[in-house]
Amino acid sequence: MLTPSRQFTFLVRIVALLIFFFTAITVTTGFSVKSSVPVVTCSSTANNNNHDIKNERRVFVGGLRQVGEEDDKEADVETKLQLDLERRYGPISNVFVLRKTSAKPYAFVDFVHAASAQQAIQAYSSSPGATDVNINNNNNATDANNKDEGGQENFPLYREIKAAKTIVPHKRIKSLQRKTLTQSDFNTKHEIATSSTTLLHVQKSHVHRVMSFLEFHNIKVTGHYVCGGVAIVGVQEEEDGLQSFLQKLEPRIPIFQCAIQKMYNVNPTQMVLEEGEEETAYQKVAQLLKKLKENTTTTTRVRFNTFPSSIAQELISYLEHNYPQLLHLLAPTSCTHILHAVKIPTTLRNSHLWCMGMDQVTTAASDSSQKIENNNLICRAQSKLQEAYARYNYALPDATNGLIAVDCGAAPGGWTQFLAMTVQCKRIYSIDPGELDPIIFNTHHGDERVVQHLQIKVEDAMSEILQLEKECGGNQKSPMVDIWVSDMCLHQMSEQVDLMLQAKEVGIIGEGTFFVLTLKCNMGHSREAFDEQVATQCDRLLSLGNSGGVVRDLQTIHLFSNRGGERTILGYLT
């Protein structure tokens, strides 16, 4: 006799076994647990459990007979298709035919019953393309389509029937977006190739700065594209115009030359569109060399200037195999001409755009890729103030009695040195708890040392500056301080503006004071996010005080000397 607890355990095991066997029978026979109706399975439902009943009744009919292959009209093809499928598999609720210019038409057919759709699919999927598939009283699937009602041989009405696959809407949208972006990418690069006279090889981090700078100086930029860690910027300028422009800039903004790694002078009329495995571009290079050889009587030496740089070796190998008679023209040094070739990859039709041009070397031409070195800088940050002054065209105020400046966050002294040596201020208050480079203190204005180092915080230094200026008699001029600069790294960007406004409130700076502030973005990762944060602080300065704000002639510049998350704002206090 079993105890009650053992009886309960025995019953639980019996129930579990029954559930297991019932589930196994249901899976193997294809019967539903709820309705005992056979479950029709197909490739579409097997791959996507979310198909509704309508999708189970829908089939794809491919390879429809085109109008013109027979005497059919468009409406006749649809009608014949519906009549044929209804006769073979069962009633149809809808036929939707799509016609393409580059391929045979196809259709989506909705049967009334899912079983009819599955019968049509299985008839074609069991032996694709075969001629001995027996369906509906031994009517062959292919032969039956090749005969009309009179038994005459005919073009097939259709060639395949498959399950209609549901395309998830967001995937379709992404596909369209990719196609749109692909075409847009090709259009941008084609515009660069067909309208640029010079291509600039620029650091990726500097591309927008270079474009903005060129456009500010009325040099037309045709576009840009990024390739790995670099970018190519297209420029439309008269011959030698851009080169002379850059040479004039070099003494004022030497760091601009560092942003441009190479220049390629190209001729838009010599652009080549190369598709697949063609060698059209290489043939074009050979033609340019032949033409140069025929048109010159003096000794000619040609150097390749290519992007990517590996193309130069590929061109040499091509000439060795196909045009060995031109190899004597090539020379890496002491060249008389430079052949520029830039390969622009596109995502459209596996094609490439090639920009080419031939330049004659002149003794006045400078190497655009040379690096500018300045060993007189105390620190890298000094180039920020140097560039800011050069680009803003700062107008010095009346400096009869000398200018007074405040440098916030001065250590190690790069900005202070620029103010002392270039701007020639008579007195500079360099505020920083850190140490300054000893060379800073060698500058004198008359018998007085120019730099006074205040090793305290800026907010604490304001009262001391007021006292020192009172002792020097500087408190009698307005504004007391002519120049306020700051390159401090603070926790919040707004603190940079707060300190300047505080100095204005206590009377250290005022109307006419020129300011240069580096706003350092500590939040976000994109150029747009940084620009938005800086714009907020600029709006703040323009909205305070009177209707015109507390500043005038405000300008925001992403200097070449700035890091990616830095922006420099310049202007005058009102």
Residue 182 confidence (pLDDT) above 50:
yes
Across 114-123, 162-171, 191-200, 229-238, least confident range = 162-171
pLDDT in tens, 41-90: 444 444 444 445 667 899 999 888 775 555 555 567 788 889 999 999 99
Tokens of 131: 């001629």
Distances (CA, A) of 93 to 79, 96, 192, 423: 13, 10, 53, 86
The pLDDT assigned to 266 comes to: 95
**Contact between residue 342 and residue 306 where contact means Cβ atoms under 8 Å apart:** yes
Q: Residue 156 and residue 140: Cα distance in Å, rounded?
A: 12
Q: Identify the band that residue 249 occupies on the pLDDT scale cut at 50, 70 and 90.
A: confident
The pLDDT assigned to 136 comes to: 38
Q: Looking at residue 31, what DSSP letter applies?
A: B
The pLDDT assigned to 45 comes to: 42
Residues 6+ apart with CB under 8 A from 303: 330, 331, 332, 333, 335, 337, 338, 339
Mean pLDDT, the chain, as a whole number?
Answer: 82
Domain boundaries, the chain: 1-39, 45-163, 172-373, 382-573
Q: Identify the band that residue 245 occupies on the pLDDT scale cut at 50, 70 and 90.
A: confident
Which numeric CATH code is attached to 45-163? 3.30.70.330
Residues 6+ apart with CB under 8 A from 15: none
Exposed e or buried b per residue across 117-150, where buried means at least 16 C-beta atoms within 10 angstroms of its C-beta: bbbbbebbbeeeeeeebebeeeebbeebbeeeee
Across 67-76, 193-202, 377-386, least confident range = 67-76
Q: Identify the band that residue 170 occupies on the pLDDT scale cut at 50, 70 and 90.
A: low
pLDDT in tens, 445-458: 877 899 999 999 99
Measure CA 219 to chain center: 22
Q: Looking at residue 433, what DSSP letter applies?
A: S
Residue 514 confidence (pLDDT) above 90:
yes
pLDDT in tens, 550-567: 999 999 999 999 999 999
Question: Rounded mean pLDDT of 194-200?
Answer: 95
Neighbours of 13 (CB within 10 A): 10
Query: DSSP H helical segments within 160-221, as ranges?
Result: 169-195, 207-216
Residue 173 confidence (pLDDT) above 70:
no
Residue 556's Cβ-count burial label (10 Å; 0-12, 13-18, 19+) is middle
Which numeric CATH code is attached to 382-573? 3.40.50.150
Residue 392's nearest CA partner among 572, 152, 122, 150 is 572
Tokens of 525: 């990762």
Measure CA 477 to chain center: 52
Q: Give me the residue label for tokens 């700065």.
A: 209
**Contact between residue 291 and residue 326 where contact means Cβ atoms under 8 Å apart:** no
Higher pLDDT, residue 242 or 339: 339
Q: What does the longest C-alpha to C-alpha distance in the chain come to?
A: 121
Q: Residue 320 and residue 124: Cα distance in Å, rounded?
A: 56
Give all strands of the β-sheet with 230-236 in edge-to-edge order: 220-227, 230-236, 198-203, 260-265
Q: Residue 348 and residue 226: Cα distance in Å, rounded?
A: 16
Q: What is the pTM of this model?
A: 0.64
pLDDT above 90 as % of the chain:
50
Q: Identify the band that residue 256 occupies on the pLDDT scale cut at 50, 70 and 90.
A: confident
Residue 285 confidence (pLDDT) above 50:
yes
Most confident option among 9-23, 68-82, 364-378, 391-405: 391-405
In this structure, the strands spanning 444-445 and 566-573 are unpaired
Question: Rounded mean pLDDT of 376-388?
Answer: 87
Q: Give me the residue label for tokens 């942003």.
A: 259
Residue 385's Cβ-count burial label (10 Å; 0-12, 13-18, 19+) is buried
The pLDDT assigned to 474 comes to: 66
Q: Identify the band that residue 394 occupies on the pLDDT scale cut at 50, 70 and 90.
A: confident
How many residues are listed for the chain in this entry? Answer: 574
Residue 312, CB-side half-sphere exposure with 13 Å CA sphere: 14
Q: Residue 92 and residue 112: Cα distance in Å, rounded?
A: 5
Identity at 451, one-letter amino acid code: V
Residue 149 confidence (pLDDT) above 80:
no
